[in-house]
Amino acid sequence: MKSGIMILRIMKKLSTLILHNLNKAKGQYISFGVFICLTAFIINIALVLAFQTFDAYDDLFDKLDTADINFIIPQIQDNDNLLTEVEEINGVSFVEKHGGVFTPVTVREFAGSDFDMNTVFYNIDEERKLNLLDVTEQAGKSGDSAYIPMYMKKLGGFTEGGSITYSIDGKDHTYHIGGTVLEMQYGNYGTGLIGGYFPKAVYEEFAGKYSNNAVKEYSIKTTENADLSEMKNIISEMIKGKGIALLSINDRAASKQTRTMVCTLLIVIFLAIAAIILVVSIFLSNFRIRSGVEDELAQMGVLKAIGYTSNMIIAGAVMPYVFVGIIATVIGIAVSYAVLPFVAGILAIQSGFSYTPVFDIMAMLIVVLTLTLAILLFSYISAGKIHRLEPINAIRGVVGEESVGQNILLFIVAFCIMVLLSFAGTLLYNVNIKSDNFMNTLSEELPSVIFTAEDEKMAELKKILQKDNRVQLFMEYASVPVSYTDGSLTAFVCEDFSKVTNDICYEGSSPAKDNEIAVGNALADDYPIGKEIEITVGSQSQNYIVTGYIQSVNNAGAVCQLTSKGYEKIGEKTESVNVYLYDKNADAFIKEYEENYDTVVKSSVNFEQMSENGQMMYTGIVSVIVIILFVISVLMVLLVMYVIINSMISRRRQEFGIYKAIGYTNRQLTVKTAFEFIPATAVASVISAIAGFWYLPAIDNVIFSLIGAVKNQFEVSVWILIIFAVMFTAVAFGISVLLSAPIKKITAYSLLKD
């Protein structure tokens, strides 16, 4: 209390000095404020997302009484004893069974194309205590209604009142969309399964048609401290021990990670950007304070002479930055709330659930305190020189030591900005120009077309493809569900993994023999290379030797690779062929094959279109990030150059006056001044561009490993870096010319007056 009153008293004493300092360099403080405002804006978005998205997810999860573990088995293998046994597992507090139909489907016109996904169809009218469905009914129930999950509405572009066509085994079923279902069990494509919902009558008709695919879903609520992973193992063992096929098992933690993946990415990127801007702001204030001390050395000396202590003078220099910083932080936080609903809307596309961000006092306190303390600390350090100033030396203009020069500041800022630009450029290049790199990082094979053919027709189809000169490559490749001791896996089955176009193996190698397997990153800890793993399909099991690890973002790492021959030891021969075309013309290609070879081709998928759709989910987000980075970079160059040039002009008024007196024109002086900034900017750009080959893959690796993409396939384009370095230097030069205009106002006479 006492110290608070003392601080207030000191502030009152210093108010004239602080206001004077604020007033005399308004432009400098405004530019500093803009930086801090931007930093606060970005950090607050990141923190609110971090604090609220995951909580909103959990709240919705609890509100809808979502089960902690769900597993699905064929209905035909279900029995009452199993329910009792599951209920008796230690840590299980409640179990509920739901009926369903589990089948791979192709959704027609999903964002303009076909979209394949494993779907479990449910009766929406079935009474539930767990996995409740929050249904938004728009068009009412009717004889042909279907209800779609939020993810399909947000990304697939389906709307209530419209229609949706599910294609199962080549047969189309079209339904009228009765409404949207918000559920927390599946959510998005990344969880490997998605829900489909029908009213009772429609469901019963549908289930009757696909009675072979009827499943029972066990939804389990656990006690508070239950170990979900261990429980999954126990359940898997139990199911396996009974010879029952485990079609799917998922838990709360894995679903949450998958559905909040982009949010995590955004938070990391935003915090990284904010850190860079904060570093630039701190260097900027450091430069301003240090050059301020030098410019006003005599005045500092006078203040000391009339009795100001060093700390009082430092407070006079630092407090304007703190005040401006606090105001700018509050403005930045306020503005961030205008943008947060938009950001949350973008995230809903990927997460499959939406929420409205609300004011977060904790986020605000963290942003305000962090930025204020950072400003206070670093500006105090910058002004520390004042401590060492002897009043008489200051009055006589003896500085005592060299200051941080404008070129060093410019170098640091240019380097930081180039890091941002290079990152943005690399994102842009790999997502929009060489988009395969991005998709390869996030997915598996990316063929143009997938054909399926009966076993006996496969050889014929391959012969036809062999002769087609539009076909670059084809191979038997399929994704099939298998299971292992701890749960289900998606197996990528290929006749020859040396032919794949996207090598997702990040350690060891893909299987080459029929007794080999590569497993996903989720299994890497439990199955070292060389160890055996038992894989089951239905009632058939086989041991395989682990040869390597593969990455998978979409299935949370629960995947494996098997050779076709290896898989055929436990499962039926797969029917899919991946076809890679030279040109992007999959539509015409499929049409031609469906017309000319309808007896050979059983079904076809335009994968080219599908991957473009998948990409669509990310390109929007990446574009927003890239635009933000560009705007921030230009703004930073503008503000930093403003501060540097302004300070330089005021310091070198006499020199410019002399140049004018001896006959230099305004244009000559402006260009000469602007050229002085070229070396630092150009050298920083070049060094940053060269260093980019090292730090960009490192940054990308860190970011993508957060979402499970261990093997990041981004390329760093030398051309992008060169173009950005040149562009940045040119923009900095242009801005320097514009900002050097006040030199015109300096007259030779004003030199004499000074």
Partner 1 sequence: MNKQISISAKHLKKAFGKGESIQVIYSDLNIDIYKGDFTVIMGSSGAGKSTLMYSLSGMDKPDGGEIYFDGVDITKLNNDKLAVFRRKECGFVFQQIYLIDKMNLMDNVITAGVLTSKNREDIKNRAEELFSLVNIPEKTWRKTSAQISGGEAQRAGIVRAVINNPNVLFADEPTGALNSANSAAVLDVFTSLHDKGQSIVMVTHDKKSALRGNRIIYIKDGKIFGECDLGKFEQDNMERTEKLDKFIKEMGW
For binding to partner 1 (CB under 8 A), which residues are involved?
Answer: 9, 12-14, 16-17, 20, 23-24, 296, 298-299, 301-312, 387, 390-392, 395
Nearer to partner 1, 345 or 397 (CB): 397
CB of 287 to partner 1, least distance (A): 20
Nearer to partner 1, 265 or 300 (CB): 300
Nearer to partner 1, 400 or 405 (CB): 400
C-alpha span between 732 and 726 (Å, rounded): 10
Contacts (Cβ under 8 Å, ≥6 apart) of 128: 96, 98
CB of 296 to partner 1, least distance (A): 7
Nearer to partner 1, 24 or 591 (CB): 24
CB of 20 to partner 1, least distance (A): 5
C-alpha span between 613 and 149 (Å, rounded): 17
Nearer to partner 1, 30 or 89 (CB): 30
3-state helix, strand, coil in the chain (%, to 5): 55, 20, 25
CB of 257 to partner 1, least distance (A): 56
Contacts (Cβ under 8 Å, ≥6 apart) of 612: 113
CB atoms within 10 A of CB 399: 13
Give 429's DSSP letter.
I
| C-alpha 258 chain-centroid distance | 12
Q: Are 379 and 288 in contact (CB under 8 A)?
A: no
C-alpha span between 166 and 155 (Å, rounded): 16
Nearer to partner 1, 294 or 612 (CB): 294
| C-alpha 715 chain-centroid distance | 18
On the 0-12 / 13-18 / 19+ scale of CB atoms within 10 A, 526 is: middle
Nearer to partner 1, 311 or 407 (CB): 311
C-alpha span between 259 and 64 (Å, rounded): 16
Nearer to partner 1, 299 or 619 (CB): 299
Nearer to partner 1, 669 or 746 (CB): 746
Nearer to partner 1, 206 or 308 (CB): 308
Nearer to partner 1, 20 or 651 (CB): 20
Nearer to partner 1, 159 or 750 (CB): 750
- Backbone dihedral angles phi then psi of residue 749, each to the nearest 5 degrees: -65, -40
CB of 378 to partner 1, least distance (A): 23
Angle at 150 between CA 149 and CA 153, to 5 degrees: 100
Nearest to 443 by CA among 577, 562, 553: 553
CB of 36 to partner 1, least distance (A): 24
**Which ranges of 352-405 does DSSP label H, i.e. alpha helix?**
361-382, 385-388, 391-395
C-alpha span between 258 and 390 (Å, rounded): 62
CB of 297 to partner 1, least distance (A): 11
Nearer to partner 1, 386 or 417 (CB): 386
CB of 402 to partner 1, least distance (A): 20
On the 0-12 / 13-18 / 19+ scale of CB atoms within 10 A, 195 is: buried
Q: Are 154 and 345 in contact (CB under 8 A)?
A: no
Q: Are 529 and 502 in contact (CB under 8 A)?
A: no
- Amino acid, res. 431: V
C-alpha span between 20 and 296 (Å, rounded): 13
Strands (DSSP E) along 551-648, which ranges?
Answer: 559-563, 576-581, 603-606
What Cα–Cα distance (Å) separates residue 465 from each residue in 92, 462, 474, 580?
A: 53, 5, 7, 10
Q: Are 298 and 395 in contact (CB under 8 A)?
A: yes
CB of 310 to partner 1, least distance (A): 6
CB of 306 to partner 1, least distance (A): 5
Nearest to 239 by CA among 538, 519, 520: 538
CB of 747 to partner 1, least distance (A): 15
CB of 2 to partner 1, least distance (A): 16
Nearest to 40 by CA among 416, 365, 302, 310: 365
CB of 19 to partner 1, least distance (A): 9
